[in-house]
Each structure stands twice: as structure tokens, then as C-alpha cells.
């Protein structure tokens, strides 16, 4: 099992003991956690080629798409797309980027992450907060998209736990900060943040965690979760307990020390910010 998931299980168990009556929440940045934005982008660009019998993107691979992705006009310029056709492609891209076929394609490499979130959601009074910056839709259509992706794992979407922020489109740290305040103001106790974008974290968010009770999991953790094998029978068990997934070695003093070091690292980062 992934060490990231084991840390998350231990943390959830400890927070449940400390706050038995609270509504716990794991805040998840959707981009590069539930879907790979580069895969989504390349799928939309290649759909233009397929529809128009062109080959502008036939030789473009994921490794040629920068991280983070710029706006579509800048990206087309980097890919040396002729200026005369770039406006037409940009219009097509904006119209077709979130086609469900492309979303499914972009989700496939990260499908196991959704299973991890489903395991968490099955625990008593535990919620998955979803944060994204889609500026052309609303909570209802976004929730429908995640529900469609979650059919195979059983993840259900609580629309009260969806945060979309048009004002911070393209500004992930600010968006995550706003999501943090949004959910805390609504009575949720944040216990973990999962962000698939960076290994450095957001110092501003760490500073908000004055109790050192939030576990910050970054892109390395998401990559580990991609390879977790969650048994289907576990998700089908109505009384499934996340704690039962823990390897025995994590229930030892050594496992506890590893967990404590992870939380301590958050405190050190906050002090240095």
C-alpha cells in the first residue's frame, strides 16, 4: 500500500477520535488529481484534427505540453500552429475541452485516486471537498461530471462540497485558499489537502493550520495513489472500515513516528514562511 494512503488513514482515525461529532473533510484539487489536464488538453486538440482532417497535433506528445499549461492562444503559439488557423482552433478547444469523452480519457490514468477518495467518503461523517477553477460551468454540471467518473468506484458527489472559483481561474494557490475558508465557514473540519500540482505545497495554507492538524499531500502522494489496488469487495462492504486497510507495521510505534514526522514537517514549513 502507498505510504501516502497509510498516513491518510492514520490521520483520519486520529482526527475522528479527537473530534467524534465533527464533519471531517478532505479537500481535493481536481486538476491532476481526478483528471490529467495535459491529457484533457491534448485530447481536445486532436479532436480538432479528427473533425477537420488535419494533422496539426498528430506529432504532439504530453512531454511537449508545459506545466503549468498557458492559455490556449499561447499554447498554440508554442506549438507553432499557423496564425491564420489558431483562432479557429482556440474556439474549437474552448467548446470541446470538457466533452465527457475527453474527461473520461483524462481521468483514466488517475482512476485509482477516485477509489481512495471513495474509501474515505464511506467513513462516518467524512466528506470529500472538490475544488476546481472551471469558469464556464456551474456546480450542478460539474457535480454531474464527477458523478459520471465516480460510477465505477461508487463516489457520490455532495453539491455542498463542491467549490468552483471563476475569480481565481489559473491561480491555484489562491483558489485553494478560498476553498479552505469556504468549507471551514460552513462548519467542516479540514483534516487533509490533496493537491496533484506541486511537491512544495502552499505556505499560506500551511500557515492557516494553526493546530497542525491538517495533512498536506502533494503530487508525489497522488502518483503513489495511482498504483493502489483497492479490492472491489472492500468498496461493496457496507461496514467497510478504512482502518482495516492498514498494514500491521503501520500500527506500531515506528508507523506512528512516521505519521508524526509528516505533521511536524507541516509545522516547520509554516514557521519558515
CATH number at residue 206: 3.40.50
**Amino acid 72: pLDDT:** 94
Same domain, 16 and 49: no
Same domain, 52 and 139: no
Same domain, 143 and 264: yes
Distance in angstroms (rounded) separating the CA atoms of residues 166 and 177: 14
Same domain, 70 and 115: no
Distance in angstroms (rounded) separating the CA atoms of residues 187 and 267: 23
DSSP state of 70: -
**Amino acid 251: pLDDT:** 47
**Amino acid 79: pLDDT:** 94
Same domain, 181 and 54: no
Inter-axis angle of helices 253-272 and 3-18, nearest 10:
90
pLDDT in tens, 4-22: 777 788 888 888 888 999 9
Same domain, 93 and 220: no
Same domain, 247 and 169: yes
* Torsion angle of the four alpha carbons 129, 135, 140, 146, in this order, in degrees rounded to the nearest 10: -50
Residue numbers of the chain with a pLDDT score lower than 50: 1, 136, 168-169, 200, 248-253, 264, 267-273
Same domain, 160 and 210: yes
The parent domain of residue 21 ranges over: 3-35+110-272
**Amino acid 231: pLDDT:** 55
Same domain, 115 and 92: no
End residue of a domain, out of 103, 120, 155 = 103
**Amino acid 55: pLDDT:** 95
Same domain, 125 and 210: yes
Sequence-distant (≥ 6) Cβ neighbours of residue 273 within 8 angstroms: 203, 204, 206, 207
Distance from the Cα of residue 105 to its chain's centroid = 16
**Amino acid 202: pLDDT:** 59
Same domain, 201 and 96: no
End residue of a domain, out of 50, 82, 103 = 103
pTM metric for this prediction: 0.76
> Could you tell me if 41 and 66 are in contact, meaning their C-beta atoms sit under 8 angstroms apart?
no
**Nearest-CA neighbor of 118 among 216, 200, 23, 28?**
28
Dig out the grid coordinates for 82 from the structure: 499557423
**Nearest-CA neighbor of 155 among 163, 166, 165, 144?**
144
Same domain, 65 and 172: no
3-class SS of residue 106: helix
**Amino acid 267: pLDDT:** 42
Cross-strand partners of 27: 129, 193
**Amino acid 241: pLDDT:** 54
- How much of the chain is in helix, strand and coil states, percent to nearest 5? 55, 10, 35
Number of domains in the chain: 2
**Nearest-CA neighbor of 176 among 142, 145, 130, 214?**
130
Amino acid at each position: 500500500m502507498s505510504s501516502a494512503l497509510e498516513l491518510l488513514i492514520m490521520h483520519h482515525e486520529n482526527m475522528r477520535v479527537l473530534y467524534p461529532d465533527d464533519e471531517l473533510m478532505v479537500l481535493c484539487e481536481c486538476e491532476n488529481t481526478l483528471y490529467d489536464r495535459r491529457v484533457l488538453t491534448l485530447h481536445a486538440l486532436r479532436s480538432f484534427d479528427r473533425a477537420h482532417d488535419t494533422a496539426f497535433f498528430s506529432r504532439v506528445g504530453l512531454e511537449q505540453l508545459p506545466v503549468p499549461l498557458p492559455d490556449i492562444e499561447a499554447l498554440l503559439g508554442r506549438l507553432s500552429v499557423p496564425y491564420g488557423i489558431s483562432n479557429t482552433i482556440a474556439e474549437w478547444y474552448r467548446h470541446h475541452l470538457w466533452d465527457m469523452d475527453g474527461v473520461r480519457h483524462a481521468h483514466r490514468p488517475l482512476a485509482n485516486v477516485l477509489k481512495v477518495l471513495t474509501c474515505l467518503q464511506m467513513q462516518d461523517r467524512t466528506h470529500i471537498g472538490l475544488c476546481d477553477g472551471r469558469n464556464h460551468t456551474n456546480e450542478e454540471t460539474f457535480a454531474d461530471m464527477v458523478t459520471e467518473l465516480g460510477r465505477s468506484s461508487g463516489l457520490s458527489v455532495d453539491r455542498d462540497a463542491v467549490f468552483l472559483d471563476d475569480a481565481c481561474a489559473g491561480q491555484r494557490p489562491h483558489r485553494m485558499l478560498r476553498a479552505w475558508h469556504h468549507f471551514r465557514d460552513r462548519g467542516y473540519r479540514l483534516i487533509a489537502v490533496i493537491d496533484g500540482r506541486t511537491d512544495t505545497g502552499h505556505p499560506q495554507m500551511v500557515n492557516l493550520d494553526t493546530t497542525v492538524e491538517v495533512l498536506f499531500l502533494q503530487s508525489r502522494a497522488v502518483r503513489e495513489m495511482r498504483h493502489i489496488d483497492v479490492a472491489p469487495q472492500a468498496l461493496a462492504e457496507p461496514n467497510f472500515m478504512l482502518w482495516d486497510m492498514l498494514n500491521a507495521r503501520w500500527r506500531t510505534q515506528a508507523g506512528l513516528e512516521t505519521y508524526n514526522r509528516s505533521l511536524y514537517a507541516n509545522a516547520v514549513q509554516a514557521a519558515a514562511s
